[in-house]
Amino acid sequence: MTLVESYLQAICPLPLDFIWHENMSVYLSMKKEKGRLKLRLHRLFQEAPTPVLEALIRMALNKDKTSRVVVRKMAHLYFLQNRGEPKILSAQGQYFDLQAIYERLKAQYFSQNYQASIGWSERSQSGKFRFITFGTFDRHRSQIRINPLLDDPEVPLHFVEFIVYHEMLHGTCASKFDAAGRCRVHTAEFRRKEREFPLYKEAKEWERGCLKFFKNRKKNGRS
């Protein structure tokens, strides 16, 4: 057990389980289960001063709002200092130009002050399709990455546009902690704005059958 883990356990009346990770989007989550407190913590908390660690435990046990502000400020400052430069990605695909899609959506649905870079992420080498992450939004680097599987002539344009729109929404809708201390990025506000996309129903319908589509593409050697 590390010094930080030992200190957190010493000030917490419940037994603690720790999982450390590097996920900047969901840097903290907690769950009470069978008399134990399970903490999933970004490694930034390994460098946190004592007041932040104490605030973290108060937040976990009592849902203390003041402590939540302390923890969030610590995380915000840490990510500002360690965000680095975003990796330069190409927005021009073989079939879809993400920059053109981004600019079109920005003009229609977002403020002209909205700023984010966008590009195709590196192609995954994983062998099976159990689920697909179509896009990600890095809030700390203001960067949108889209899965290159979507750069396919048989993928509907409106679906690619919907995924870009979805990721752009993450730049305007703040995440929130729920009563259990979990960070929710798809809030009620987010879901409401997501449904404002004109072809929302069509995009979600295509999404429901997409695993079979991509499996067939892979089977036929076209992905």
Q: Where are the domains of the chain?
A: 3-82, 98-219
pLDDT confidence of residue 85 = 63
Residues 6+ apart with CB under 8 A from 178: 184
Predicted TM-score (pTM) above 0.75: no
DSSP H helices in the chain: 3-11, 50-62, 65-82, 98-109, 157-169, 188-194, 200-208, 210-219
Residues 6+ apart with CB under 8 A from 48: 4, 56, 74
Task: Check whether 55 has a pLDDT greater than 90.
Answer: yes
CATH-assigned architecture of domain 98-219: 2-Layer Sandwich (3.30)
- Percentage of the chain with pLDDT > 70? 87
DSSP secondary structure of 109-122: HS-TT---EEEEPP
Half-sphere exposure of 79 (CA within 13 A, CB side): 19
pLDDT confidence of residue 180 = 55
pLDDT confidence of residue 86 = 65
- Between 64 and 131, the more confident residue is 64
Q: Is 112 exposed, middle or buried (0-12, 13-18, 19+ CB in 10 A)?
A: exposed
Q: For residue range 144-203, list pLDDT tens digits in order.
A: 999 999 999 999 999 999 999 999 999 999 877 666 556 678 889 999 999 999 999 999
Average pLDDT, the chain: 87
- Residues 84 and 140: their CA atoms lie apart, in Å, by 9
- Residues 88 and 52: their CA atoms lie apart, in Å, by 34
